[in-house]
Amino acid sequence: MEYTNLGRTGLSVSRLCLGTMNFGPLTTEEDSFAIMDKALELGINFFDTANVYGWKKGEGVTEQIIGRWFEQGGGRREKTVLATKVYGGMGDWPNQNRLSALHIRQAAEASLKRLKTDYIDLYQFHHIDRTTPWEEIWQACEVLVQQGKVLYVGSSNFAGWHIAQAQEIAKSRHFMGLISEQSKYSLLDRMIELEVIPACESYGLGVIPWSPLAGGILGGVFGSDEGSRRRNERSQDVIKKHERALRKWETLCTKLGEQPADVALAWMLANKTITAPIIGPRTMDQLTNSLRALEVKMTPDLLKKIDAIFPGPGGTAPEAYAW
């Protein structure tokens, strides 16, 4: 396994992040335990979850599964860099969602209880809250950090200007602020190259891409049983819209002798701002197969061919659309 620092911190994390969103809804607790054990065995020390995962409001199903896994001991908690999130609705009562100081405090305490731990390594804002001032958000986070219940704070689904605003106010409070941004990013979704990635580079945030395979579509949708399954289950509109590019993509990967999913992850890992794409395995095979991405080498020629298939927004703003 390869490791890197998370953003501008001294925290060392694996280049692949284990996403746990499937734990509970699609993967049994027994299989989830086995996948997490295997991840540690493979050297993956970075796990991502959220209080809303499990999709039963207020229950934190996935966090509970992880908590029971930690409870087995064996150094599981100590070996894991644990990331969870706050923002989503955890009840129908006022103040049980978003980023008010009250909800941040209550949500953090509830996550700690479900996860059966006394600290969260990376506490992420799942979405921007346009109704709560940053002074309030940072004050709540400062208290959690002072109490030792949260070590680092990150964002998810932020625009570039949100990151800049958050960091400037954190700086004025002599607080470290954000150290990572978790964004939707893949060869089919490259919009964050305009402003989010440049903002992260400027402020020293690591980027943790979610859905790096575009919901599995970049893992191959033509000419295999697995691809047929994805084609049946995934968005037909997306596949239809990008069919020409996807066929070129799969032909390129076949010529390389590599699986499309591995090449897609390797392309992402070649970007120095990317800390660790989130892989969300439902099965053990999906977990173990993902490690091949660390061995696929991106040459300048290969990167050029991939850009020709999936050109992205044309670079960073404003040059991508102006001059």
First to last CA, the chain: 41
What local confidence, expressed as pLDDT, does residue 154 receive? 98
What local confidence, expressed as pLDDT, does residue 227 receive? 66
What local confidence, expressed as pLDDT, does residue 57 receive? 95
Nearest to 155 by CA among 169, 166, 145: 166
Low-confidence ranges of the chain (pLDDT < 70): 225-234
What local confidence, expressed as pLDDT, does residue 236 receive? 87
Sign of CA dihedral 251, 256, 258, 260: negative
- Could you state, in order of their start, the residue ranges of all structural domains in the chain? 3-217+259-300
Q: Residue 184: beta bridge partners?
A: 210
Annotated catalytic, 53? yes
Nearest to 11 by CA among 237, 276, 191, 230: 276
Nearest to 181 by CA among 6, 57, 308: 6
User: How many CA within 13 A on the CB side of residue 229?
Assistant: 5
Q: Which residues of 145-159 are buried (b: 16+ CB within 10 A; e: fewer)?
A: beeebbbbbbbbbbb
Contact 210, 181 (CB under 8 A): no
What local confidence, expressed as pLDDT, does residue 230 receive? 63
Cβ contacts of 44 within 8 Å, gap of 6 or more: 1, 14, 16, 17, 18
What local confidence, expressed as pLDDT, does residue 317 receive? 97
What local confidence, expressed as pLDDT, does residue 272 receive? 92
> Is the preceding omega at residue 318 within 30 degrees of 0, hence cis?
yes
CA 217 from chain centre, in angstroms, equals 17
Domain 3-217+259-300 has CATH 3.40.630.30: no
- The residue count of the chain comes to 323
Catalytic residue among 53, 87, 152, 203: 53
What local confidence, expressed as pLDDT, does residue 233 receive? 65
Cβ contacts of 208 within 8 Å, gap of 6 or more: 17, 48, 83, 154, 180, 181, 182, 183, 275, 276, 277, 278
